[in-house]
Amino acid sequence: MIRRLLRRANSGPTATRLRRFAAVGVVAAGAQMALLWVFVDAVEVAYIPSAVAAIEATIVLTYVLNNAWTFQAIRNSGRVEYAVGLVKTNVVRGTAIPIQLGVLFALVEWYSLPYLLSNAVGILVSGGYRFVLDLRWTWSTSAN
């Protein structure tokens, strides 16, 4: 499955979706990093609970943007379809939280890297996982 996805990533609808998914991810990552900084440095909450809050806050943002732009050809447009898609993306992104938090924790605690840099690495590591699951499940069609 991954080999086939990588072959399709060079051209066609998968390549376009992957580029758009990455662009939305950059916007969401920026929002998440800003929120994480506010929670940790301004509000003085520990970095792991702050990361969870920042991640959760960006889940809806990414769904709205991805549904409107990344997956526009197969978007969830009806009320029920939109709500089901939102639940699905919450499940997808919710299952990616332990991956991101694990990377964040390991880099901060074991390698003494700054929490913002560590979070950025966690976002990148969990990004591929989220793309594949969103493509295959959240916006699933027979064309995928």
The token pair that represents 104 in the structure block: 């964040």
What pLDDT, on a 0 to 100 scale, did the predictor assign at position 80?
92
What pLDDT, on a 0 to 100 scale, did the predictor assign at position 5?
56
Q: How far is CA 13 from CA 5, 40, 132, 135, in A?
A: 11, 39, 14, 11
Cα distance between residue 127 and residue 32, in whole Å = 14
Cα distance between residue 37 and residue 120, in whole Å = 12
pLDDT in tens, the chain (144 residues): 556 655 665 666 678 888 888 899 899 999 999 999 999 999 999 999 999 999 988 988 988 998 999 878 888 788 998 998 888 888 888 888 999 999 999 999 999 999 999 999 999 888 878 777 777 777 776 444
